[in-house]
Amino acid sequence: MATVYERKTGVFQIVMLLLFAFVILVTLLPILNILALSFSEKDAILTGRVGLLPIGFNVDAYRMVFNDASMIRAFTFSLFLMALQLVLSMAATILGAYPLSKAALPGRRALMIVIIITMYFSAGVIPSYILYKDLKLLNTIWVLLAPSLISAFNLIILRTFFSSINISLYEAAYMDGCSEFRALWAITLPLSKAAIMTLSMFYAVERWNTVSDIILFIQEPKLYTLQYKLKLMLDVISIPHEAGVVTTITPENFKSACIVFTMIPMLIIYPFVQKYFRDGVMIGSVKG
């Protein structure tokens, strides 16, 4: 006979299962609708008959996306920008988190207080714009990289993760004449793979989805990211076409194809790092 605790636990698990199933369903339905719209025929879209499955099969919208040189250029630049941001941000975060994980670091508590303050207070858009203008960063790639180089949240997670590594490993390495950089490379990084992969995904997703800095600080079309190009597409009612040519797609069809196009990189990358998420975030958040 099941105990009261087991019955309560079973009810709780069922409720949580239903809750998460509902959340997944609510998240998945709009994506399926966008996917269906991108492949559906023009008449089905105009009559509002498209739901979760495409009606007919029309790839003209995707053909138009891939034939748009500005979209391909924005896609290539976005990939390059994301990769560069990922490398620079992770290097800066690792080099910042490692010394902060050492209890012997002078002023460590004061430094952590300053870092935490930056999570809640910022200068604002106008002072930031004036600063970037004085530094001649406007309309350059560095205005997209430098302000978001280090996330205080990610730095704290990685610092906490580094602090959980057994100190005896470092002591043995120091006795063998190992330097701090050597200890970081040979001990800390191999043991922190889960945290590093998790934070790398955080940085990549944040850079890929960010549009505000492009809107505020960039006017050069060559520096437009794919997400900003998507915003421009969504703001336009009509679709690009040649005069006198009857198209087989609608604005909704074209916009849906653009949205799916922007999701492809994250859908490809995420499955490879998903297994690191639980270990990377939980271990870095429990110990301090």
What is the model's pLDDT at position 246?
A: 43
CA 218 to chain CA centroid, Å, is 20
Please report whether residue 54 resides in a domain.
yes
Please report whether residue 169 resides in a domain.
yes
- In tens, the pLDDT along 232-270 reads 776 665 555 544 444 667 777 778 888 888 888 877 877
Please report whether residue 79 resides in a domain.
yes
Query: What is the torsional sign of CA 62, 64, 67, 73?
Result: negative
The C-alpha atoms of residue 22 and residue 177 are separated, in whole angstroms, by: 56
Whether the pLDDT of residue 285 is over 60: the answer is no
Structural domain harbouring 22? 1-58
- In tens, the pLDDT along 177-219 reads 888 888 888 888 888 888 888 888 889 888 988 888 898 898 8
Whether the pLDDT of residue 98 is over 80: the answer is yes
Whether the pLDDT of residue 130 is over 50: the answer is yes
Q: Are residues 53 and 74 in the same domain?
A: no
The C-alpha atoms of residue 148 and residue 80 are separated, in whole angstroms, by: 16
Query: What is the torsional sign of CA 51, 53, 58, 61?
Result: positive
The stretch 99-118 carries a mean pLDDT of 89
Q: Are residues 146 and 252 in the same domain?
A: yes
Please report whether residue 220 resides in a domain.
yes
> What is the 3-state composition of the chain as percent helix, strand, coil, each rounded to the nearest 5?
75, 0, 25
Q: Are residues 89 and 2 in the same domain?
A: no
Q: Are residues 277 and 217 in the same domain?
A: yes
Q: Are residues 36 and 169 in the same domain?
A: no
> How many distinct structural domains can be found in the chain?
2
Please report whether residue 130 resides in a domain.
yes
Task: Report the share of the chain in percent with pLDDT over 90.
Answer: 17
Q: Are residues 277 and 135 in the same domain?
A: yes
Please report whether residue 49 resides in a domain.
yes
Q: Are residues 49 and 78 in the same domain?
A: no
Domain boundary pick from 10, 33, 58? 58
The C-alpha atoms of residue 279 and residue 192 are separated, in whole angstroms, by: 10
The C-alpha atoms of residue 152 and residue 100 are separated, in whole angstroms, by: 12
Please report whether residue 63 resides in a domain.
no
Please report whether residue 227 resides in a domain.
yes
Which pTM value belongs to this model? 0.79
Domain boundary pick from 15, 32, 58? 58
Whether the pLDDT of residue 94 is over 90: the answer is yes
Domain boundary pick from 14, 40, 58? 58
Cβ atoms of residues 138 and 132 within 8 Å: yes
Q: Are residues 157 and 175 in the same domain?
A: yes
The C-alpha atoms of residue 81 and residue 52 are separated, in whole angstroms, by: 34
Q: Are residues 40 and 179 in the same domain?
A: no
- In tens, the pLDDT along 3-62 reads 655 566 677 788 888 898 898 888 888 888 888 888 888 777 777 778 788 887 888 888
First to last CA, the chain: 42
Q: Are residues 170 and 99 in the same domain?
A: yes
Q: Are residues 190 and 282 in the same domain?
A: yes
